Each structure stands twice: as C-alpha cells, then as structure tokens.
C-alpha cells in the first residue's frame, strides 16, 4: 500500500500542473485530501524556492534584500 506522503512526493516531482492534477485524481479517494495537503505543504515550503528549477521571481530573498528594494 502506498502512503499519502509517497503519492505527494511523486506528484510534486511532476513538471506541469496538469500532470500533477491528473495524478492527484488517481490517488485513492480516501487518501486524496491528505495527499493534497502534503503536496500543498511541500510546494509552499521555503526550501523549494531555493532549488534551481524555481523561477527567478520565486527565488528566496532575505529580509534585508527585500527591505533594501522597498526603500530604494
């Protein structure tokens, strides 16, 4: 039996939103909400923003960098 976190790991690794959405629909119904929550948590985790595949506008900026751009 596959666990919700394993489903989430596989789903988050997919390239497109359409692939992720269709894969989530293939998760057994009784595990779908928990798997979706795991995916959302992984997707919004700060460490994801530091990886190479994150778009430039998603890259993490420190508070000092953000403050400097606001005041300048």
Spatial contact of 62 and 70, defined as CB atoms under 8 Å apart: no
Tens of each residue's pLDDT in the chain, 72 residues: 689 999 999 999 999 999 999 999 999 999 999 999 999 998 888 776 666 555 555 555 555 555 555 554
Name the one residue in this structure whose structure tokens are 């595990």: 31
| pLDDT for position 35 | 95
The DSSP symbol for 16 reads S
Which residue range(s) make up the domain with 10?
4-71
What Rg, from alpha-carbon coordinates, does the chain have? 16
Spatial contact of 35 and 4, defined as CB atoms under 8 Å apart: yes
**Number of structural domains found in the chain:** 1
User: What's this model's pTM, rounded to 2 decimal places?
Assistant: 0.63
């Amino acid at each position: 039996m596959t666990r919700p976190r394993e489903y989430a790991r596989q789903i988050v690794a997919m390239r497109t939103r359409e692939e992720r959405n269709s894969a989530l629909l293939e998760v057994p119904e009784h595990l779908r909400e928990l798997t979706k929550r795991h995916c959302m948590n992984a997707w919004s985790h700060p460490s994801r923003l530091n990886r190479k595949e994150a778009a430039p506008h998603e890259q993490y900026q420190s508070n000092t960098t953000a403050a400097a751009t606001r005041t300048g």
